[in-house]
Each structure stands twice: as C-alpha cells, then as structure tokens.
C-alpha cells in the first residue's frame, strides 16, 4: 500500500515503529497530488520542496507531539506565514501574512507538515465557488465551503486538512467525500488569523480518515478530557436518532444513511430511540440565517469599502442588507438560540450520542453549488460538537455520511463514542480505498 492511503493514525504508528519516515509519507502524498489534482483541483498552493524540507527536518528530531511528521492541508482562509493566503478572492492574490493563524501554529507545534493551501469558496461565504470536484465523480461538487480540504482528504492526497463551519461548510463535505470530520464545540479552537464571517457561528474543525485521526488532532488542540479517552462498548449504548424538523428536505441518500446506521447500531446491541425536538426548533433555520447574514454584513463591510464593485455580487448583497436583517429579527434569533441550546443540552445528555443526517443526500451534480446546509446549520447555531462518519453509498455511487452530535463541550466523550461506533456504522472503508486507488 502506498503511504498516502494510510490513515493518519496508521502512518503515525508506522513512523513510531521505524518502518516509515515523514519524508517517504510526504513524497507519496505529493505524487498522489501530482497525479490527481488536475481532476480534483483541491489545492490553491503546494510547495513540494518546502514540504519535503519540513519532513526531513522532522525526521531528524524527537517527536514534537501527536501530529509529528503527518501532512496537513490548510483551508485558504487561514493565515500561513510561509505560503500565500488569498481567501480565494481576486482581491487578495499574492497576499502574504506575517504570521500563522493560531490553529496552524498549533498543529505545526504538534509536528505537522503543512503541505499546502486548499481551495475554498471565496471568504468561505456564499460567493464564488471553489474549482474543486468530488473525487468519486468530477461532475459533482465536493461540498463547501471547505471544498478542497474535503476533496483532498477524500482522495487520499493528504491525511489531515482544516475546514471551517458557519452553516454546513465542514460536516457536509465530509459526507460528500466519504471521510471523517469533527466540528468541535464553539469556542474550543481559536479562530485568530482565520477570515471571519460570524463570531457566533464560525468554528474551526479538521478532517481525517478515521476517528483515531480526529483524536490525534484533538490531542494537539488539548480538548478537555481528551487525554483520558476510553471508548465504551456499543452494546447497551443509548443513541437517540434525530431526523430534525427539516426531514422533509432529506433525499434518498440521507434516508438510506440514517436507516442503515440505525439498523447497524441495533444489531450491535445499542438502544436506539427517536428524538423529536420541540416545535420551536423548527425556527432555528431562520434564526441561523438572520445571524449569519447579520454578522456577515459586519464582517464583510471592510472588504466592501476596499474592493467595491470588484466584490462578488452575493457578498455585496449581504453588506447592502439584501437579506432583510433587522435589529428585531436579530434579537429574536439570539433569544431563540439561547433557549434551544439549553434545551438541547438537556435532551442530548440523556444519550451517549445523537445520530443525525450529515447532508441532504449525495453530492449534487455541478460545481456551481456546494449543497444544502439545512442538516448542519442548527448544530452550528447550537454550538454542539459534531463528528461525521461515512455510512453508505447512494444511488449514484457517491458517499453519504451521518453525524453524531453531543451536548456542548462534550467533545472528548463524543469522540470516544464515535471511536466505538465507527466500525459499526462505516462498513465501506475498504471499498472507498479500492475505488479511488484505481482512479
């Protein structure tokens, strides 16, 4: 097996045993990028020589931390001191930050090799789309706004990559690309040096190819409780499945993923019960939209003044308040989300995890769209941790995942549950590797 096809946890174990070097791993990833990126187009910037130099230096050192020698892709809304950061905006081409974003600095400190910058929707907001395509079918989107990160990890080009989520920008690409992701609880990972849209919503997360990979990242970020992680047995677990108030928007792929996951969990001995959220949770989609556009209007004001007509029409519309945000509607959205956060924490605390759809279905056809965020926005607004797990392949042969959700700040516990359940829910890992190794 080529090293690029190893999970991060597998590669780390091979390096610890002395059977693999960081340089060999990085060269394998770079060869995969060279072969596949003309189709997948996941990267905006890769510096081959710099990546190899980082790996060589790390091979000479004692371990710096849980990510030592492992490759990491960085979404191009995050500042990097040694690479361009363009936010995928024509207005920022050639921009060179003077320091790393905090999250980038943290993974560097833990020993990661920064492989390059991944493609993104412009400013990670509702505007110019990434050029990236789905690795399983280039005519379909990889999702977004973390388009390149999801596609690169899904296509076995890199073991880790950062994503961000304001609505569904992180978890949805995980579903579309057949990979794992964690969207941590809001506020647990620094957003300093990341282009912001919403202080209330924006969350930094990371992709991997197993729950063990996500745990390595959590160790680097020192999420509370992660050092004492112990995976429980699936038998006897209490799982609440939640179709959410927006189930009428679920397509065949999401329905199949949820039904298959419920069946597999029950066969493994878990107690699976339906959760029906109170009726007012159905208003969270509108509340999320108000907050996202209300704060986006503020966040993009400076870009609007600097670049004017050069700004994407959707971004200009946001700043000019074409979405009809008013102070009253914002206050109502703030108040509702406060109420629902407390209520959901109480509901979710009765279970080991809540099972929910990660996307409306398979990745849509066309690169003009990144898909529907309806099954993600409420969890972003509620500030809950979410872990995406691949579940099925849909009618078009594209992956569809589910997500496990927990109460706020239960990230370590949720990862432990996900670790116990990944082999129950994800039965297609070998098939995904087989399909893409032949691509």
Q: What is the DSSP letter of 310?
A: G
- Per-residue confidence in pLDDT tens, the chain, 439 aa: 899 999 999 999 999 999 999 999 999 999 999 999 999 999 999 999 999 999 999 999 999 999 999 999 999 999 999 999 999 999 999 999 999 999 999 999 999 999 999 999 999 998 889 999 999 999 999 999 999 999 999 999 999 999 999 999 999 999 999 999 999 999 999 999 999 999 999 999 999 999 999 999 999 999 999 998 888 999 999 999 999 999 999 999 999 999 999 999 999 999 999 999 999 999 999 999 999 999 999 999 999 999 988 889 999 999 999 889 999 999 999 999 999 999 999 999 999 999 999 999 999 999 999 999 999 999 999 999 999 999 999 999 999 999 999 999 999 999 999 999 999 999 999 999 999 999 8
Looking at residue 310, its pLDDT comes to: 81
Looking at residue 131, its pLDDT comes to: 98
Which alpha helices (DSSP H) does 4-88 contain, by range?
8-16, 22-40, 48-60
Q: What is the DSSP letter of 163?
A: E
Q: What is the DSSP letter of 65?
A: S
Known catalytic residue at 146: no
Known catalytic residue at 169: yes
Q: What is the DSSP letter of 200?
A: T
Looking at residue 231, its pLDDT comes to: 83
Known catalytic residue at 261: no
The residue annotated as part of the active site, out of 28, 133, 145, 337, is: 145
Looking at residue 308, its pLDDT comes to: 82
Looking at residue 182, its pLDDT comes to: 99
| Exposure string for 219-247, b = 16+ CB within 10 A, e = fewer | bbbebeebeeeebeebeebebbbbbbbbe
Which has the closest alpha carbon to 215: 7, 423, 434, 424? 7
Query: How many CB atoms are located within 10 Å of the residue 59 CB?
Result: 16
Q: Which domains occur in the chain, in start order?
A: 3-277+341-437 (3.90.1300.10)
The residue annotated as part of the active site, out of 75, 129, 183, 256, is: 75
Q: Which residues, other chains included, contact 185 with Cβ-Cβ below 8 Å and sequence gap of 6+? A: 383, 384, 385, 408, 409, 410, 411
Looking at residue 393, its pLDDT comes to: 98
Asked whether 193 and 381 are in contact (CB, 8 A), the reply is no
In DSSP notation, 422-434 reads HHHH---HHHHHH
Looking at residue 194, its pLDDT comes to: 99
Q: What is the DSSP letter of 369?
A: -
Query: How many CB atoms are located within 10 Å of the residue 381 CB?
Result: 26
The residue annotated as part of the active site, out of 169, 175, 185, 359, is: 169
Look at the chain and count its residues.
439
């Amino acid at each position: 097996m080529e090293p690029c096809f190893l999970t991060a946890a597998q590669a780390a174990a091979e390096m610890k045993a002395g059977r693999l070097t960081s340089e060999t791993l990085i060269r394998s990833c770079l060869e995969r990028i060279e072969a596949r990126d003309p189709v997948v187009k996941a990267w905006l910037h890769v510096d081959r020589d710099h990546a190899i130099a980082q790996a060589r230096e790390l091979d000479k050192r004692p371990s710096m931390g849980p990510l030592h020698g492992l490759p990491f892709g960085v979404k191009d809304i995050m500042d990097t001191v040694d690479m361009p950061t363009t936010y995928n905006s024509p207005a920022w081409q050639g921009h060179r930050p003077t320091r790393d974003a905090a999250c980038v600095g943290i993974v560097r400190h833990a020993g990661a090799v920064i492989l390059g910058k991944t493609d993104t929707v412009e400013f990670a907001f509702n505007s110019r789309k990434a050029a990236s395509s789905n690795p399983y079918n280039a005519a379909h989107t990889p999702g977004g706004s973390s388009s390149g990160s999801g596609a690169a990890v899904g296509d076995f080009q890199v073991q880790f990559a950062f994503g961000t989520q304001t609505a569904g920008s992180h978890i949805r690409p995980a579903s579309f690309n057949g990979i794992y992701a964690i969207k941590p609880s809001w506020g647990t990972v620094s957003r300093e040096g990341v282009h912001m849209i919403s202080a209330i919503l924006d969350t930094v997360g990371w992709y991997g190819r197993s729950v063990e990979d996500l745990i390595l990242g959590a160790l680097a970020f020192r999420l509370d409780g992660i050092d004492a992680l112990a995976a429980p047995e699936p038998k006897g677990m209490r799982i609440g499945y939640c179709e959410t108030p927006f189930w009428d928007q679920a397509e065949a792929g999401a329905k199949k993923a949820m039904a298959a996951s419920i069946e597999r969990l029950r066969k493994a001995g878990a107690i699976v019960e339906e959760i029906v959220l109170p009726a007012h949770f159905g208003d969270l989609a509108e509340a999320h939209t108000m907050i996202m556009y209300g704060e986006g209007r503020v966040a993009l004001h400076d870009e609007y003044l600097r670049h004017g007509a050069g700004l994407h029409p959707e971004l200009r519309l946001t700043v000019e308040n074409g979405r009809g945000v008013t102070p009253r509607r914002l206050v109502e959205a703030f108040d509702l989300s406060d109420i629902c956060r407390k209520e959901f924490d109480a509901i979710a605390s009765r279970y080991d995890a809540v099972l929910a759809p990660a996307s409306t279905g398979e990745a849509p056809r066309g690169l003009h769209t990144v898909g529907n965020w309806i099954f993600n926005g409420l969890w972003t607004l509620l500030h809950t941790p979410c872990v995406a797990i691949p579940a099925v392949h849909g009618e078009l042969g594209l992956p569809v995942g589910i997500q496990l959700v927990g109460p706020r700040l239960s990230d370590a516990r949720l990862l432990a549950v996900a670790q116990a359940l990944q082999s129950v829910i994800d039965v297609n890992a070998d098939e995904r590797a087989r399909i893409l190794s032949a691509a």
